[in-house]
Amino acid sequence: MRPASCGITPEGWPTIGITALTALVFACLGWPVPAVLALALCWFAFHFFRDPERVVPTAPGLAVSPADGRVIRIERKPDPLTGDERTCISIFMNVFSVHVNRSPVTGVVEQIRYWPGKFVNAAYDKAATDNERCGYLLRGEDGAAWTMVQIAGLIARRIVCRVSEGDALERGQRYGMIRFGSRVDLYLPEGYVPSVNIGEQVFAGQSTLATRN
């Protein structure tokens, strides 16, 4: 797993470099309008691929948000990896959100599963079953199973996975990202309850999403 460099994700530097170089070439050729447009794209790339450090809570018995964004659903439904009926918290990321995903708890990645699919709006119900997505089963220190599912959206068409099965993750540690607007579903193990409400804004690795009851 590669850490962020200068507050930017490793995946962002090629895009930033290309747009910056393009702006420089246009400027040297005396083409101000294309240069400004390329510079604007460079700024957008900096903004989109930003990866700020977060203050991760250290109190026991809690899980932090795996994604930046807005809570759009809290519901009971089958876990796609275990098949169990669980409480699922859905977090929608727009194009202006930080798109780096972080582990909700300390544990070991037991399973990773990828599903090819469509690219409908990630806020829709059917996105959880129809869209391209990647699921991670994380076994917490207390033995509880957590499932995180990255769901590609209408604009986001690439899911980035930075971990492998057997990898150990700390609470708040980066494990991947999704590009350009998307969603993450977190399935809670029994014994944990949501500590957020629908419509609430949360931040990956920092906001408490669930607590042990």
Is 131:119 a contact under the CB 8 Å cutoff? yes
Q: For residues 82 and 80, what is the distance between their CA atoms, to the nearest angstrom?
A: 6
Annotation marks residue 97 as catalytic: no
Cα–Cα distances in angstroms (integers) from residue 170 to residues 58, 66, 131, 141, in the given order: 11, 12, 28, 10
Choice among 65, 90, 97, 182 that is catalytic: 182
Chain position carrying tokens 């959880």? 128
**Cα separation, 18 vs 42, whole angstroms:** 8
156 vs 80: CA distance, rounded Å: 21
Nearest to 113 by CA among 84, 151, 87: 151
Q: How far is CA 185 from CA 19, 31, 39, 46, 69, in A?
A: 32, 45, 34, 26, 12
Neighbours of 128 (CB within 10 A): 18
Asked if residues 127 and 140 have their Cβ atoms less than 8 Å apart, the reply is no
Catalytic site residues? 182
